[in-house]
Amino acid sequence: MPADFPRLRRSPGPRPGTGIVHLGLGAFFRAHGAIYIAEAMAASGGDWGILGVSLRHPDQRDRLEPQDYAYFAVELGPEGATPRPIEVIEDMRVAPEDPAGVLAAMADPGVRIVSLTVTEKGYCHAPATGRLDRGHPDVLHDLGEPLPRSAPGFLVRALERRRAAGLPPFTVLCCDNLPDNGHLLRGLVLEMAGEIDAGLADWIEAEGAFPCTMVDRIVPATRPENIDWVAELTGCHDAAPVLHEPFRQWVIEDRFVGAARPDLAAVGVQLVREVRPFELMKLRMLNGAHSALAYLGYLAGYETVAEAAGDPAFAAFLRGMWQEEVIPTLAPPEGEDLAAYAETLLTRFTNPAIRHRNWQIAMDGSQKLPQRLLGTIADNLAAGRPSRRLALAVAAWMRYVGGTDEAGQAIDVRDPLAERLRALSDGAADPATRVSALLAMREIFSQALASEPGLRDAVTAAYRALAERGARAAVAEIGT
């Protein structure tokens, strides 16, 4: 039992200064960016300690503070579990408790990078347009009040302070799975800054840097039982371990304010001029397949990605989707072979040591579908190629957000648009009406895509197959 183990503590010794503020300090960043940054400092030095910020809940801070922000990252690979202590978080703040403290930290002259993993919905934008969601309560609040609530609001107000203090801006390093993530966030920050002070927006535009990035590592949410298991494994009680697969990749556009950054190249980060081909490959092949598996797998009764991807019918479905519907839309990034990348994905998805719940990936589909599935479908329509498997994945999302599974059980749908999605589903009598009602959601489906008869017909046919025969049969019917 964890009570019998001593609490994990940070080792004594010199500490680097804080050079990075990270917004959204969750499991993903602690298992990915934080490890690269710790390794870069071990390799080449530098004051790149991280101050973590939780924008919503105190849980991570409450777990990490008693162990001085040290934690174990446990790699789950074919040879078993390998724990490794990570000591790169210097401090933490919880934004709703102390927004002024967060702004002061971001305006500190030693801070040169503000990185973010706040999930898709944390950017308070409309996914179909990439613009700020002007109806979002946090956006409305942040446009009127100096102490912000949203991630874009913290960036704008902290940059305002730095400008007033005569400091350079920090580099804004977006590490979420969004298309053109740096450009997107730059647009949102400029949009909000422009409403507050046009001179501020001009300064950010001229002096700021918002590199695009592609981030990749599968990191399932830590479950309560993992904490006991990590205690047995390490002999220490860690209240906030992270579990991750061996694979990792980080591609960053090499554009930092004053070229100030940790020596990431020394630890395998790819610093490139053009991130877009990497990002499209990853969003469409990995995340697109993840979302397809999440909805279809959940409906078919599979709890985890590994269980679903381990079903030969699902594996054949994924291979067909990649080969016929996704790879033809992509230009291979330098050094990548897309067919080999697809096979690696299947191996990663079937890693039996990773218990990544379909339900976790199914969250926030309204924010994920455009960049994971819909852009690919739009490209296929334009090229006259079919998207049968992608259409089945979209139909599965529509079934899922209806809130009832194939056994008649309620689904706990987590999505910022969950209520509307449910109301639209409930108000439609048959598959064709339901599909049309959901395609009319402009935050998700652009007018151009929704009015394509090719899309509507394919999704409606797929929806019927799901309703009449169930997800497993629908997946198997599509064949290879």
- Considering beta carbons, is residue 149 or 372 the nearer one to ligand CS2? 372
Q: List residues bridging with 81 in a β-sheet.
A: 76
In Å, how far are 85, 366, 411 from 363, measured between CA atoms? 30, 9, 11
Q: Give the residue closest to ligand CS2 by C-beta.
A: 290
The angle that helices 181-196 and 151-164 make with each other, rounded to 10 degrees, is: 60
Name the nearest CA neighbour of 260 among 158, 155, 111, 88: 111
Only one of the segments 201-209, 211-219, 269-277, 325-333 lies at the binding site for ligand CS2 (rule: CB under 6 A); that segment is 211-219
The one-character DSSP state at 18 is E
Minimum Å gap between C-beta 290 and ligand CS2 is 4
The single residue listed with the structure tokens 């997946």 is: 475
The angle that helices 338-349 and 288-299 make with each other, rounded to 10 degrees, is: 40
Total chain residues near ligand CS2 (CB under 6 A): 10
Only one of the segments 100-108, 181-189, 256-264, 286-294 lies at the binding site for ligand CS2 (rule: CB under 6 A); that segment is 286-294
Minimum Å gap between C-beta 429 and ligand CS2 is 32
- Tell me the two tokens of residue 278: 């990497």
Q: List residues bridging with 52 in a β-sheet.
A: 22, 92
Only one of the segments 3-11, 124-132, 197-205, 212-220 lies at the binding site for ligand CS2 (rule: CB under 6 A); that segment is 212-220
In whole angstroms, give the CA distance from residue 65 to residue 45. 25
Minimum Å gap between C-beta 29 and ligand CS2 is 11
How many other β-carbons are positioned within 10 Å of the β-carbon of residue 324? 17
Q: Would you count residue 50 as binding ligand CS2 (CB under 6 A)?
A: no
In whole angstroms, give the CA distance from residue 407 to residue 15. 55
Phi, psi of 407, deg, nearest 5:
-95, 10
In Å, how far are 40, 78, 285 from 11, measured between CA atoms? 19, 29, 40
Per-position x/- string for 158-177, each x denoting binding to ligand CS2 as judged by CB under 6 A, each - no binding: -------------------x
Minimum Å gap between C-beta 12 and ligand CS2 is 34
Minimum Å gap between C-beta 272 and ligand CS2 is 18
- Considering beta carbons, is residue 112 or 348 the nearer one to ligand CS2? 348
Among 112, 217, 244, 357, binds ligand CS2 (CB under 6 A): 217
Among 90, 216, 253, 415, binds ligand CS2 (CB under 6 A): 216
Q: CB of 163 within 8 A of CB of 170? A: no
Q: Would you count residue 287 as binding ligand CS2 (CB under 6 A)?
A: yes
For 416, the 3-state DSSP assignment is coil
Minimum Å gap between C-beta 294 and ligand CS2 is 7
Q: Would you count residue 350 as binding ligand CS2 (CB under 6 A)?
A: no
Per-position x/- string for 360-389, each x denoting binding to ligand CS2 as judged by CB under 6 A, each - no binding: xx------x---------------------
Minimum Å gap between C-beta 368 and ligand CS2 is 6
Phi, psi of 57, deg, nearest 5:
-110, 150
90-149 positions binding ligand CS2, by CB under 6 A: none
Residues that bind ligand CS2 (CB under 6 A): 177, 216-218, 286-287, 290, 360-361, 368
